[in-house]
A and B are shown apart, each in its own frame.
Chain A
Amino acid sequence: MSTPAAVNLEGVGKRFGEGTGAVQAVSDIDLTVAAGEFVSLIGPSGCGKSTLLRIVANLIEPSEGTVLVNGKPAGRARLDQDYGIAFQSAGLLEWRTVQGNVELPLGLHGVGKAQRRAQALELLELVGLADFAEHRPSQLSGGMQQRVAIARALARRPALLLMDEPFGALDEMTRERMQSELIRICAETSAAVVFVTHSIPEAVFLSQRVVVMSPRPGRITEIVDVPLAGRDEDVREAEQFFAAITDVREALRGRSPVTDEGPA
């Protein structure tokens, strides 16, 4: 038996509101993310990429279509804690220590104290913050807080990691370092990732495939394969990297160099 796909979306759509005031946020989404695959969702603001991520996370119910996570309905997957999630804001509990924050999902699901401790320290080691276990979130920089949030998302050893612009609020230097960290962490945990971003270089550097979306209603216009040999720092200056960036940029523009913003 082969491992089920990490995410399987078929004909997914979401309407907010009812009647004439209804807004179609996303529609006709078909997407499969294989186990261990890194996929980015990219598109202009308002294209519904965050909505789509929340549908996968079962934080929002879709209006139509089926959502499978690890081969199970999304609701079941959420109850089984099959995914970990990180948001643009780290959302740490300021009254807990760094370690206490990483232990949160473990404590909620009945992991014993000693094991919780050991596991949290291991995760902090993974994100390079073992020395900060006893610190309060307010004592950490934005990048460090985000790493704690990633450690927390990985606490239940999920097969799927959902990330909603996790590096969106970080400066460029920190951002690139965090991207490389994420690549390393994913290699060590072999989790599949669905990563929402509006940065083209970020999407290209991280992903095996980039899902390009159009706004209102959010639809998948194209899925771009990123054929990069490796994901080290040198790649950022490689020709393939720039070629892939151009590829994604053209896909975002709609690949129509002649008709520019004209009537469809």
Chain B
Amino acid sequence: MRTQAVWAGRIFQGVWPPIIFGVGFLALWQWFVEVRDIEPFVLPKPSAIFEQLRLHHDTIFEAARITGANALVGLAVGLVVGVVAALLAARLRVLDEMLTPLAAAMAAIPIVALTPIFNTMFASTSSTPRRLVVAIYVFFPIFVNTLRGLRQIDPVHAELMRSYAASPWTTTKVVRLPGALPFFFTGLKIASSGAVIAAIVSEYFGGLQKGLGPAITSAAAASAYPRAWAIVTAAIALGLVFYIAAVLAERLAMPWQRPQGELS
């Protein structure tokens, strides 16, 4: 109980400074725009942006839902493929030599250039090209981090498992996989907010006119700048939701790394 209270206290300690800073920053922004009488197409007031968020919350939410779904499916696919590839590469040297340069090459793919190609490969009414782009983007950080985690085995653990006459698969299951979790989650945290960015960027290159990307474009084309900023805000929020979900998953999966109250 006490441990939990201390933990909660720490979270609040960690939460308040950015909130105070954020509110202060917005107030300063509002004040600056009003005093200098800046045109909305240069920089709209925060109050105008929030007004737009309130007015169009249903369409903005729908756009965020579509982009979020693409990011989530792409993230899931990239994650599964990345982890499986890392498991195989950690087990088989031949695969390692094949996959690691391939993964590096995939990281160098300009996803922006891929999108139009995927759009012509699949029907332009399909969300698949965007999800594929996200999956490709996500693969590299997951693969590289997980593989490094799987390779990093404490020599004592290795000797111990050999003394138990444990099979390589048992060693992977009992020692390597749990030991790789911190590395995997480092990759996931990078990939999670990156997945949202990749999903939005992929929306700019043809295909379906749905999601946050086209919404920003059309708002800007209609000179509705506060609305465009409102959608950008929604995009930031979506990225944060993904990142926070990854952090929470990390906490849940590795309770032993939770800060220990009594050790403070």
Contact = CB atoms under 8 A, between A and B. Distances in A.
B164 A138 contact: no
B20 interface: no
Which interface residue of A87, A93, A95, A138 has the most chain B CB atoms within 10 A? A95
Given A93-B178, A108-B170, A85 B163 contact: yes
A79 B154 CA distance: 22
A185 B102 CA distance: 54
A59 B254 contact: no
Interface in A151-166: none
B164 A93 contact: no
Interface residues of A, number: 21
Contacts of A89: 154, 156
A93 B163 contact: no
A138 B163 contact: no
Interface string A22-56: 00000000000000000000000000000000100
A136 interface: yes
Contact of B163 (A57, A95, A139): A57
A91 B254 CA distance: 18
A136 B157 CA distance: 17
A81 B165 CA distance: 8
Interface string A57-96: 1010000000000000000001101010101010101110
Given A85-B160, A87-B156, A104 B174 contact: yes
Nearest to A152: B160
A105 interface: yes
A139 B257 CA distance: 11
Given A78-B165, A93-B175, A95-B254, A139 B263 contact: yes
B223 interface: no
B156 A108 contact: no
A143 to B, nearest CB: 17
Given A87-B159, A91-B154, A105 B256 contact: no
B159 to A, nearest CB: 5
A79 B159 contact: no
B162 interface: yes
Interface in B239-264: 254, 256, 260, 262-263
B55 interface: no
Contacts of A79: 165
B166 interface: yes
Interface in B126-166: 154, 156-157, 159-160, 162-166
Given A87-B156, A104-B174, A139-B263, A94 B163 contact: no
A87 B162 CA distance: 13
Contacts of A104: 164, 174
Interface string A163-183: 000000000000000000000
A251 B199 CA distance: 73
Contacts of B263: 139
Interface in A85-134: 85, 87, 89, 91, 93-95, 104-105, 108-109
19 contacts: A78-B163, A79-B165, A81-B164, A83-B163, A87-B159, A89-B154, A89-B156, A91-B157, A91-B160, A94-B256, A95-B181, A95-B256, A108-B170, A108-B174, A136-B256, A138-B256, A138-B260, A139-B262, A139-B263
Interface of A: 54, 57, 59, 78-79, 81, 83, 85, 87, 89, 91, 93-95, 104-105, 108-109, 136, 138-139
What are the 6 closest A-B residue pairs judged by CB atoms, nearest first? A91-B156, A95-B178, A79-B165, A85-B163, A95-B256, A136-B256
Given A91-B154, A93-B174, 16 more contacts: A78-B163, A78-B165, A79-B165, A83-B163, A85-B163, A91-B156, A91-B157, A91-B160, A94-B256, A95-B178, A95-B181, A95-B256, A105-B164, A108-B166, A136-B256, A139-B262
